[in-house]
Amino acid sequence: MHGKYGSILARNWLENRPPCFEGQRLFSRYLTMRDGVQIAIDVHLPGTIEAENDRFPVVVFFTPYYRRMKLKPGAPEGTEDCPNIAIFRSLLLARGYALVAVDVRGSGASFGTRNGLRSPNERGDYLEIVEWINQQPWCKGSIGVTGISYLGAAADFTASWAHPAVKAIVPHSAVWDTWSNQLYPGGVMCRRLVKEYGNLMEALDDDRAEVRSKFPYFKGDYYDGPAPVDEDEDGSILEKALKDHVANFDMADFVHQLTFRDRALHTDPDFTSEIISPYYYANQTADAQTAVYTISGWMDGHYSRGAALRYQWQQNPHKRLMLGAWDHGARTGSSPYHNDKTPQTKALAETLRFFDEYLMGLDTGMSDEAPVHYYTVGEERWKSANEWPPAETNYRTLFFQESHRLGIEPPATKEAFDHYVGDYSCGTGESSRYNRLYAQNVDNYYSDWHDRDKRMLCYTTDVFEKNIEVTGHPIIRLYLTSDTQDCALFVYLEDIDKSGKVHYVTEGVFRALHRRIAEGHTNIPNIGPSHSFLERDARYMTPGECSEITFDLLPTSWLFKAGHRLRIAIALADSDHFSRIPDGVIPTIEVYRNSIQASCIELPIIES
């Protein structure tokens, strides 16, 4: 269907797609799953009056964060009771979409237990609920799924069933591989995330208001736990559901058992990180029929890598990717050169436009655009490309040199190395890419980064004579010895401006144990060197013996301006966020920079 919207420029889509409904019709109920577990859902229909032949495209949200809050008596009129989906409800409902919000099993007002961070049982619920929606008289027969983080991955899981009504999904800030994108980036446990996220989920699942209020997204003077469904007038059914949640898994215990990608739970040999990851269920049948728009940002934890993996795996000609200068959920802008107060607006506008194209059947002009959109920090400009990384990207190698320099000349000496004693006081602070992942607000990313690298091993270029754009996934290649059998490597890419101030650009995390080059799952594309993270490929280092350790840094697009310098900073710990490896012993390493063992950084450069 081609309509009047086809000629509107993409940047004006939201303002030229005004609301056409006022108010909503909201009802809630339980749906009984195949195993008897009752799942709580809310249905939001556009408008306050039912009209003949009211049928709408439907957007679904599967959430463990409460589909809706119960409000205490005396709550002021207009108090938001759907903080988890409010931005999407405001965007979609008034523009003619019905919404369905679901408390996943073991959460909110739903019965059942959660035996892991998602499970095959939960994925099965998604299919049953989609089928129920598709049979309702208010459903037009076109269904989309979206949401941020957990909800975004749920969109992947739903699409993997290849239900014919699921036409489009928009995963915002969502993992592709739960193990490496969230729990064990580079094989190192993101300990702070595991701890804090576990505290949040326990507070929500057990309805512990005093703990829940410590997390800004769930703090509200008038919030009184999950909302009961309509039939539960006295809350007695909800009370029974909450008793089920007591048996939910413990996040820390759960994650500590998954030390390798293929390591299973002690109590279930079939429960590995694979079955809680979207990639495991991805299939070309579903990919061919469901259009996917992946949205992430440069400071989106390691989810930006997940976004790249998802996009590279897909074959659907309607796939799209957006990478912005923002954080998890695009809540805060991350460019030090531009204070973007509303980064979410662009991500939301694209979500609406995508659903308008594939659920509403409107001509939005997307077919005339390149599928990849990314923001270059420093240049402060959006760009487009036909693939990610862009085809015009070429790698340029900068070698570690004497006097801690970084340059294009390969080292000529036969024996040269730099000695570095690890410092477990190294950390990335409270304004890092990780803090938002466990529902904490960050206003200015890495505003306190300057001088953090003084405790690290650094290599710095000369002043650039012209602008250099780094866009893609940098690759670090280290030749090193260690006096321990294992260690964790944290490599930071920095921009030093004319005044000498150091800006964080991106980073890579890697556990030396996983250094062996080995193919992983076929649904996880190679970005840089291929590491399986499987237990069979793990190799301890021999102290004093040189090892090659090569891995990619997280994606970025950053303009290093003329007059600036680029620096690589290497640490053996981020004690603010990651587990220490080895714990209780501080490693000492020697990084080689000779003609045979030439440590270097390979930068993806786009020539101007």
Residues annotated as catalytic are 149, 300, 328
DSSP state of 544: T
Strands (E), 194-340: 223-226, 291-299, 320-327
Whether the Cβ atoms of residue 365 and residue 421 lie closer than 8 Å to each other: no
The CA radius of gyration of the chain, in Å to the nearest whole number, is: 25
> Rounded to an integer, what distance in angstroms lies between the CA atom of residue 491 and that of residue 553?
8
> Rounded to an integer, what distance in angstroms lies between the CA atom of residue 513 and that of residue 530?
14
Bridge partners of 479, per DSSP, are: 548
Burial 458-479 (b: 16+ CB within 10 A, else e): bbbbeeeeeebbbbbbbbbbbb
Q: Are strands 320-327 and 372-376 parallel, antiparallel or unpaired?
A: parallel
> Rounded to an integer, what distance in angstroms lies between the CA atom of residue 26 and that of residue 48?
9
> Rounded to an integer, what distance in angstroms lies between the CA atom of residue 284 and that of residue 272?
23
Question: What are the CA-CA distances from residue 108 to residues 296, 423, 437 (Å)?
Answer: 27, 43, 20
Q: How long, in residues, is the chain?
A: 608
Nearest to 94, CA basis, from 24, 15, 4, 146 = 24
| Structure tokens that stand for 129 in this block | 């609920």
> Rounded to an integer, what distance in angstroms lies between the CA atom of residue 297 and that of residue 330?
7
Bridge partners of 190, per DSSP, are: none
Whether the Cβ atoms of residue 439 and residue 601 lie closer than 8 Å to each other: no
Question: What are the CA-CA distances from residue 97 to residues 44, 47, 67, 117, 191 (Å)?
Answer: 9, 10, 17, 29, 39
- HSE at residue 513, side-chain half, CA atoms within 13 A, is 20
Alpha helices in 273-342 (DSSP H): 278-281, 284-289, 303-313
